[in-house]
Chains A and B, each alone.
Chain A
Amino acid sequence: MLKERFRMAGAALACALAGVLALGGCSLLGDDSGGSPESGGGAPRSSASPQDIPYDVTPLIKPAKKYYGAAVPGAPISMKNIDVYTARTGKQPNLIEYYAAWGDGFDATGVRNAWAEGALTLMSWEPFDTSLADIAAGRSDAYLKEYATAVRRLNLPVVMDFADEFNGHWEKWGTHHATPAQYVAAWRHIHQTFVDVGATNVIWAWAPNIVNPVKNVRLQPYYPGDAYVDWIGLVGYFTIGQDNAFDSVFGPTRDEIRTFTKKPMLLLETAAMPGERRRADVRNLFAGVAADDDMLGFIWFDYKKRADWRLEASPLALTEFKRLAADDRFGFDVRKPS
């Protein structure tokens, strides 16, 4: 009996030992067959939460309604001025523009703030200290990749325009400082870097100044191509001394651009000079944007800079603006575009 018990115990011990040995071998085998150690034993588990899915920006590229945008100081990192603007105009802007210098970090918080209130953020990226040629040559790649990765990680839609008003001589990246080829190369390089890191949540807005003040600069050589651009963003203002018909301000530029691309347009930066005519300018602006199906909307530049573009500067125009903004075609919650 005693021996039998010993025998049983021996057998049990042998079982346990064999198990331990075999399990030890098991992990080795797992590592062997799995390529990387982490992937050794684990089959992928199917659990795709919405956060894991890259945000699909395509419904925002050509939405049914118009963007009702604003550029106000401090926004979107602080939404206080936006709230003031909303109170003043009677409608919450759904596209908020801010300006960032090449070399700045990505303001994910601002984008989130705007998003929380149903607004898309448009970042105007301005290379003050780095030449377009250097960017194209990849000299800022470390920064660019880090930036693109941060944008991807945020996984909310962002509109980006790079080196806007490039056809103007007044910018540091303008016609006096860079060639169209350098501009296109820099743009494509930036775009490709974003694509490479998988930052598909960016809407790319190519933003020339309206051609009226720089009639001798052709736009086509500056165009990176439809593969690299989602929106055409026009920068143009209603200014005293110029005809204020919508077509007079934006028509020549629009017509020239339509010769080489059919991408939808946005008035990426617009406003009217303060004064008696502003009310009419505002009316023309709303009418012109509403009339053109390819016109996505506009962003009112509500700054006091060189001129006082703020709506509050002209109460009559503000009243008119508020009346026209009430039109249901303007503004929508970007979180629910359709």
Chain B
Amino acid sequence: MTSRPEYYTPQPYDPYAEEEQQGGWFNSDGYLPRRPQGHEVRQDYDAPQGYQQVPQGYHQVPQGYDTPQDHGVAQGHPVPQGYDTPQGYHQVPQEYDTPQDYGIAQGHPVPQGYDIPEGYGYDPGAHAYQQPDGQPAYPGQTAEEEPAAPAEPGYHVPETPEVGWDMAASRRRAWVSRAVLLCVLAVQAVLSLRLANTAFQDEALYLAAGHAELQHLLHGTPLPIDYAAYFSGSPQLYPVLAAAVDDVLGLTGARLLSLAFMLGTTGLLYSFTRRLFNERAALAGAALFAVVQSTVVMGYFATYDAAAVFLLALATWIVVRTDRAPVAAVLLAVPVAVLAVGVKYAAGLYLPTIVVLALLTGWPHQGRKAVLRMLLLALGIGAVLGAGMYGTDLMDGVRQTTTNRDHGSDSTALLLQRSGEWGGLMFLTAVGGAVSYVRRSRMNESPAAQRLGNPGWRWRALLGLVLCGTALLAPAYQIHLGTVVSLFKHVGFGLLFAAPMAGVGVTRLIGAHFRYPQLGIMLWTATLCLGISQADWRFGVWPDSSKMIQVVDSHVDREGHYLASTPEVPVYYLRDKTTHRQWQGVFALEYTDKKGTYHQGDEAYRAALRDGEFDLIVLDGLTNPRVDAVVVDAVKGNPHYRLLADLPFRNSSGTGHYRIWTKTS
């Protein structure tokens, strides 16, 4: 470290030159509003009208006010626009004030009249800032001595660096940053691990399918159901992996696999945000991403979402990391991106973002070659995806679950409201960050940062637009489909891309030199609270099925035919006793009765129950209440069935019952 200069030597540079038009929290620079230095300005400044017009509580750094250059401008204005003396800062103007008070003028080693205001760090860079135009830059050139010929001083002023710290990456900074990241990951892990419930129907379905696929792969056991035809991801990828883990460690193991994926995602997010911006934005983005509902829940949810979001993050990371590498290096992202789509088809929605990122990240370093980079990535992904679709029979599944999915009846207002609740805060932070970033690119307090070649505003705007816009893709698509199903997870996919900008937003909110840490803390805490309460709610949506399984366990065998609201759950838990083929759900039934009459829809349920077709009926009253009512009505007074158990449960929306009937004759 360089030693602190013995004399205060303001430098002529202007570290915040770009900030002249800044205003609002996102543009806070961490410094107190500075008072114009000239006397003329001061008169204007004192004009009471100017202050009184400022609304109370408006404590922001004003637009239009700021840099020393403004002084000249300010002279032209009767009142500095919007210039406000924040309440509680009243002492500031008195403390450092006029050039006369400025200790340097008297040639004192330490400026006596100069005082460091409250909350104002001693910072040579900042002090230089208060140097008025025309102020002597060196101690020897004080106002009094100016006319005299410069005499050789009897002492030597050592060469001083313009800044007391180094903005370049250092080992220490890397470790501090990693330690903070580790804390973020620990918080994320704790939030995920505190969730508890039995397998959700989707988890049960994928795990059961995975077990069947595993048996099929290893022993050639025929699949009970053509999973590929209706899965929204390849049944041979994530389900097989999760089932293999489930075999050894059970459902908790499969969920821990998801946790590993989500922690990996946060780590990658940190890494590529650091590359795009800096550690601070990366940590802030990761900290926000780690505590939103979708991350917390997906991190303990044995579905392919965690794997898919991890692969998307990995593909993005590769694209960002190869920004300076030879163009072909971007092709490394191709298999990962394609795998992400294979794991979950909906991940394809985010590939255009990654492709555009290939251009944007390459542009500042490679110029036009970045276009080639983008094209190469797009063609690579397109070719492999095309080959994959041609070579497999997954297209049906893609059509049924992703592209031609049945349109639901959820209203746009509801979807917007839910999207807002689940990702709104982080999205707004990202938008704030993007806007602020477009207006000011500088990401470091160090004056040295000023000399870095910052990308132009068009590039910054495009980056902000792409990253923030990606967060809107899933809500927009789900509004188009009119379904809220899985929205919370898809919001999380988008937030992964918005997270870097949200990180920028938080750093801008906090300001340079951690001027307003409380704002960042408040934002993060609010996100955390929302995340915790929403994740708890989410994990309590479905009933705990352990009692139901316990009751049903002794009533199933290899032969029976069973009807259940969520057949996937008993299929998964009772996979040693039954197969998927034996279980019927409550969404569609085709039934040909004993007289050969074909029935479908509700009538099929009535006819089947009249005939005593099912050996066991398990209703939860939640999954499809309409069909549940049809079934309950058909079972009432039905000589074939006896109520076996009524199991009350408590879930996020209150209470409910499992009702289980067994066939007695």
Which one, A29, A45, A52, A53, contacts B529 given CB within 8 A?
Answer: A29
B644 and A58 form a contact (CB under 8 A): yes
B118 and A3 form a contact (CB under 8 A): yes
Binary per-residue interface labels of chain B (622-646) against chain A in the complex, 1 for a CB within 8 Å, 0 otherwise: 0000000000000011110111111
B183 close to chain A: CB less than 8 A: no
Query: Chain A nearest CB: distance from B478 CB in Å?
Result: 20
Complex Cα distance, B633 from A139, in Å, reads 24
A34 and B522 form a contact (CB under 8 A): no
B518 close to chain A: CB less than 8 A: yes
B539 close to chain A: CB less than 8 A: yes
B665 close to chain A: CB less than 8 A: yes
A200 and B546 form a contact (CB under 8 A): no
With a CB–CB cut-off of 8 A, which chain B residues contact A23?
525, 529
Query: Chain B nearest CB: distance from A135 CB in Å?
Result: 18
Secondary structure at the B interface, as helix, strand, loop or mixed, is mixed
Complex Cα distance, B555 from A105, in Å, reads 33
Contacting residues of chain B (494-534) with chain A, CB-CB under 8 angstroms? 514, 517-518, 521-522, 525-526, 528-530, 532-534
With a CB–CB cut-off of 8 A, which chain A residues contact B518?
11, 14-15, 17-18
Complex Cα distance, B532 from A23, in Å, reads 11
Contacting residues of chain B (537-551) with chain A, CB-CB under 8 angstroms? 537, 539-540, 543-544, 546-547, 550-551
Q: Looking across the interface, which residue of chain A has its beta carbon closest to that of B538?
A: A43
Binary per-residue interface labels of chain A (47-59) against chain B in the complex, 1 for a CB within 8 Å, 0 otherwise: 1100011101010
Complex Cα distance, B646 from A230, in Å, reads 18
Complex Cα distance, B665 from A58, in Å, reads 12
With a CB–CB cut-off of 8 A, which chain A residues contact B530?
29
With a CB–CB cut-off of 8 A, which chain A residues contact B539?
43
A169 close to chain B: CB less than 8 A: no
Contacting residues of chain B (183-225) with chain A, CB-CB under 8 angstroms? 195-198
Contacting residues of chain B (637-657) with chain A, CB-CB under 8 angstroms? 637-639, 641-655, 657
B116 close to chain A: CB less than 8 A: yes
Binary per-residue interface labels of chain A (1-32) against chain B in the complex, 1 for a CB within 8 Å, 0 otherwise: 00110110011001101110111011001101
B662 close to chain A: CB less than 8 A: yes
Q: Looking across the interface, which residue of chain B has its beta carbon closest to that of A6?
A: B118
Q: Looking across the interface, which residue of chain B has its beta carbon closest to that of A203?
A: B642
With a CB–CB cut-off of 8 A, which chain A residues contact B655?
36
Query: Chain B nearest CB: distance from A220 CB in Å?
Result: 14
With a CB–CB cut-off of 8 A, which chain A residues contact B392?
none
Q: A26-B529, A34-B537, A46-B196 are in contact. Are A56 and B521 (CB under 8 A)?
A: no
With a CB–CB cut-off of 8 A, which chain B residues contact A200?
643-646
A86 close to chain B: CB less than 8 A: no
With a CB–CB cut-off of 8 A, which chain A residues contact B196?
43-46
A14 and B521 form a contact (CB under 8 A): yes
B158 close to chain A: CB less than 8 A: no
B600 close to chain A: CB less than 8 A: no
B547 and A36 form a contact (CB under 8 A): no
Which one, B547, B636, B642, contacts A58 given CB within 8 A?
Answer: B642
Which one, B517, B643, B662, B664, contacts A11 given CB within 8 A?
Answer: B517
Most central of B121, B550, B657 by chain A CB within 10 Å:
B550
B596 close to chain A: CB less than 8 A: no
B119 close to chain A: CB less than 8 A: yes
Most central of A14, A46, A197 by chain B CB within 10 Å:
A46
With a CB–CB cut-off of 8 A, which chain A residues contact B526?
22, 25
B536 close to chain A: CB less than 8 A: yes
A227 and B637 form a contact (CB under 8 A): yes
A262 close to chain B: CB less than 8 A: yes
B533 and A227 form a contact (CB under 8 A): no
Q: Looking across the interface, which residue of chain B has its beta carbon closest to that of A201?
A: B645
With a CB–CB cut-off of 8 A, which chain B residues contact A41?
532-533, 536
A247 close to chain B: CB less than 8 A: no
Which one, A4, A17, A44, A58, contacts B540 given CB within 8 A?
Answer: A44
B536 and A30 form a contact (CB under 8 A): yes
Which one, A6, A33, A198, A230, contacts B534 given CB within 8 A?
Answer: A33
With A7-B121, A34-B536 given, name 14 new contacts (CB 8 A). Answer: A11-B517, A17-B518, A18-B525, A30-B533, A41-B533, A44-B540, A52-B547, A53-B550, A54-B646, A58-B662, A195-B646, A200-B646, A225-B637, A226-B665
In the A-B complex, the 9 residue pairs with the smallest Cβ-Cβ separation, listed nearest first, are A198-B646, A226-B639, A22-B525, A14-B518, A26-B529, A44-B544, A43-B540, A48-B547, A43-B539
